[in-house]
Amino acid sequence: MRTQGLRRLFAAGMVSLALSTSTSAQDSFWGGDDHTPSLAIAATEIQLDVPMPVSSGDMQLMLALAGNGGGLADLKKEAIRNYTQHIHSELARVLYGYLEDEEVPLVAENGLLQLQNKLNLKVIKHLSAMKPKGDHDLEQGNVTLKGEFRYILSNRSGTALREQRVSIDDMKITEKYRVRTYHDNRAGEDTTEAAIKEALTEMVEELVEAMEDNLEADELRDMAAL
C-alpha cells in the first residue's frame, strides 16, 4: 500500500512541476518557444537490501525481537520502506530540480518521451571497532553501497532512444556511523540511519549527474526528432 502511495506522490510531483514550468496548455506538451518535448517519468523500480536495523551492542533488544514471532523481519521490512521512501524523495528533489532548470515540461503520462529507471541496491554495514568506554560500549564502522542503476529514455511507441547502466560500486560511497550503548540502559546514540540516508542522498546526486547529458533540453529535442 505504501508503494502505491509513493507512486501517487511521485506522479503528483511531476504534475505539479509540469504546471510550474509551463505557461499554457500547449507549453505543457511542447515546452514553450524552444519546443522542448514533454517528458513522462515512471516511478523508479527499487530493489533494496539493508542491514538489520539493530546494533550489535543491543543484544537485549535483538533477543526480545527474535522471541516476538518474526519481530526482526518486521523491523527490517520497515527499514526498507523507510529507505525506499527516502530514495524516491531525493530522486524527485534532485531530478525535478535539474529538469526545471532545463525547462523540460513534465507530464504524468503520454509524454513525447518517457524515462524509466530501475535501481538494484544493497546497503552494507561494516563494523570496524567495538570498544568499552567506562559506562558504555562504543561501536564504530561505516556503511557502503553496492548495486546497479539503469535508465531508459524512449519515445511514445516504446522505442529505446538512450540507455545507460551505472555501477553503484564504482561510486565508492561510504559514510561513518557510531552506536553508543550505555550499560544502565539509558538512551544511547545511534547514527546508523543518518549515515545510510546521507549515503543514499550522495548516490542519488551522482546518479542524476550521470544522467544529465541525456536530459539536457537540446538532447531531448534531438531525441524527439528521431
Backbone dihedral angles phi then psi of residue 149, each to the nearest 5 degrees: -120, 135
The 3-class SS string of the chain reads: CHHHHHHHHHHHHHHHHHHHCCCCHHHHHHCHHHCCCCEEECCCEEEEECCCCCCCCCHHHHHHHHCCCCHHHHHHHHHHHHHHHHHHHHHHHHHHHHHHHCCCCEECCCCCEEEEEEEEEEEEEEEEEEEEECCEEEEEEEEEEEEEEEEEEEECCCCEEEEEEEECHHHCCEEEEEEEEECCCCCCEECHHHHHHHHHHHHHHHHHHHHHHHHCHHHHHHHHCC
Place of cell 526528432: 225
**CA pair distance 102, 80, nearest whole angstrom:** 33
Domain boundaries, the chain: 2-224
The separation between CA 62 and the C-alpha centre of its own chain, rounded to angstroms, equals: 28
Name the pairing type of β-strands 39-41 and 113-133. Answer: parallel
Going by C-alpha positions, the residue among 56, 28, 60 that lies closest to residue 192 is: 56
Write down the pLDDT at residue 18. Answer: 41
Overall size of the chain counted in residues: 226
- Between CA 225 and CA 188 the distance in angstroms is 59
The predicted pLDDT at position 225 comes to 86
Residues 6+ apart with CB under 8 A from 174: 142, 143, 144, 199
Q: Model confidence over 67-101: pLDDT tens digits? A: 655 567 788 899 999 999 999 999 999 999 999 99
pLDDT of the residue at 21: 40
The pLDDT score that the predictor gives to residue 30 is 40
2-224 architecture in CATH?
2-Layer Sandwich (3.30)
User: What are 23's three cell numbers?
Assistant: 505557461
Q: Which residue ranges in the chain fall short of pLDDT 50? A: 1-3, 6, 9, 11-12, 14-33
